[in-house]
């Protein structure tokens, strides 16, 4: 049976990205490793951005739903 790997959380990805940035800022990494590390940082940045955009969309939906719930009944009947 193959074990399913648990996807890292947003926070875990962010922590990994911060470690990558710290390592690259030190400037003592061999070039090949620095390039591979930078590449991983770019991948993480894209994943994190996608997750943030998804969260933003969820908040928009929730806020729109809350706004509709707050409308008086007369406003709701006008919308139909």
Q: How far apart are CA 2 and CA 28, in angstroms?
A: 39
Tell me if 80 is assigned to some domain: no
Tell me if 39 is assigned to some domain: yes
Tell me if 47 is assigned to some domain: yes
Tell me if 24 is assigned to some domain: no
Tell me if 63 is assigned to some domain: yes
Give the global pTM: 0.72
pLDDT for the residue 11:
98
pLDDT for the residue 80:
46
Residue-range definition of the domain harbouring residue 48: 33-67
Contact 35, 43 (CB under 8 A): no
Our count of domains for the chain comes to 1
Q: How far apart are CA 15 and CA 8, in angstroms?
A: 10
| Mean pLDDT in order along the chain per 10 residues (80 residues) | 81 98 97 98 99 96 81 56
């Amino acid at each position: 049976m193959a074990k399913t790997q648990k996807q890292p959380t947003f926070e875990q990805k962010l922590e990994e990205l911060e470690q990558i940035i710290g390592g690259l800022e030190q400037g003592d990494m061999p070039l090949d490793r620095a390039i591979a590390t930078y590449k991983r940082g770019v991948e993480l940045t894209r994943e994190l951005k996608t997750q943030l955009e998804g969260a933003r969309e969820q908040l928009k939906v929730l806020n729109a739903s809350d706004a509709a719930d707050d409308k008086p009944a007369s406003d709701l009947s006008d919308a139909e």
